[in-house]
Chains A and B, each alone.
Chain A
Amino acid sequence: MPFAEPALIIAGILFLLGAIGVVVRRNLLFVLMSMEVMLNAAGLAFVAASAIHGQADGQVFFLFILPVAAAEVAIGLALAVLLYRKFNTLDLWSISDSAGE
């Protein structure tokens, strides 16, 4: 209980860092990694809320975040491989330039 509220603040910081990474980075792999960080921060917030109330429900929701993250990573990385085969780069800005012609 004494760490639950600081843990919420740390989850907010981690989510912010992940959001900055998604916006700022140009490489698709780093964008996917930043999305993982954001999902983890959301899970940390769920677990912290579960600790505040002393209930197991918040932890159950982290169990639901896990398959979502796994499926997202599987499809996102498959798309990254396809993009790299087609454009020979993972730089999102140059891909968007060449696809927008």
Chain B
Amino acid sequence: MNHLDSIIFWASSAVSIVATLFVILNKNPFSAVLYLILSLFGISMIFYTLGAPFLAALEIIVYAGAIMVLFLFVVQMLSPAGSPQTQPDLARPRLTQAIMPIVMALVLIIVLGLALMRAGTITTTDGTVVITAQRLGQVLFKKYYLGVELASLILLIGIVGGMHLGRAAAIAEETELDVAIR
């Protein structure tokens, strides 16, 4: 168990660091977002080995599933902005393009296996305290309830700011249209 854990920890650390390197060295924003998702999967596996299974799930659901998808939407919307070729050339697939999806799938499968193995345990053999979602929720809503309110305020500010910026863009387009009509 301990040996397996150390293999998983170092492998996932290597995956996340290499994927982050690819993010900052990449020319193509589309594949940079995909490498960032791979890096988040690696960090999620590190969370598992540190005894945070709930946060590992949140990392994949919220970060990789919601925030990175938002990034992908904007990259697709602004596709000529990043580089002339923002999508991989699907007509001529290369073997190197298959490496990343294979690594991602392997990482996900290992995360799933860890989740099934660790289900219901409180401490592991090496003394890592596994903090369950129940304990996390008790600390969150008893000790840090003010922080929960502040987090909701931040999300409200995000919503209002996003709506304001979108409205500014719509108004700018309308005035441009008026000028064009005149």
A residues with CB within 8 A of B = 1-4, 6-7, 10, 13-14, 17-18, 20-21, 24-25, 27, 29-30, 32-34, 36-37, 40, 43-44, 47-48, 50-51, 54, 56-57, 59-60, 62-64, 66-75, 77-82, 84-85, 89-90
Contact = CB atoms under 8 A, between A and B. Distances in A.
A68 B162 contact: no
B127 A1 contact: yes
A13 B17 contact: yes
Closest 5 CB pairs of A and B: A71-B158, A21-B24, A78-B165, A51-B50, A54-B129
Contacts of A90: 78, 81-82
A17 B26 CA distance: 13
A10 B6 CA distance: 14
B66 interface: yes
Contacts of A80: 74, 78
Contacts of B36: 33, 36-37
Nearest to A40: B43
Interface string B127-168: 111010001101110011001001110110111011001101
A3 B124 CA distance: 13
Interface residues of B, number: 69
Interface of B: 2, 5-6, 9, 13, 16-17, 20-21, 23-24, 26, 29, 32-33, 36, 39-40, 43, 46-47, 49-52, 54-55, 58, 62-63, 66-67, 70-71, 74-75, 77-78, 81-82, 126-129, 131, 135-136, 138-140, 143-144, 147, 150-152, 154-155, 157-159, 161-162, 165-166, 168-169, 172-173
Contacts of B55: 47, 59, 62-63
Contact of A40 (B63, B71, B81, B129): B63
B74 A29 contact: yes
Given A24-B24, A30-B29, A77 B52 contact: no
A10 B46 contact: yes
A56 B33 contact: no
A75 B51 CA distance: 33
B140 A60 contact: yes
27 contacts: A3-B9, A4-B50, A6-B13, A10-B13, A21-B23, A27-B82, A29-B74, A32-B71, A34-B24, A37-B39, A44-B43, A47-B55, A51-B51, A57-B143, A59-B52, A60-B140, A63-B58, A63-B140, A64-B144, A66-B58, A66-B62, A69-B67, A70-B67, A74-B162, A77-B74, A80-B74, A90-B82
B158 A74 contact: yes
Contact of B52 (A36, A51, A67, A69): A51
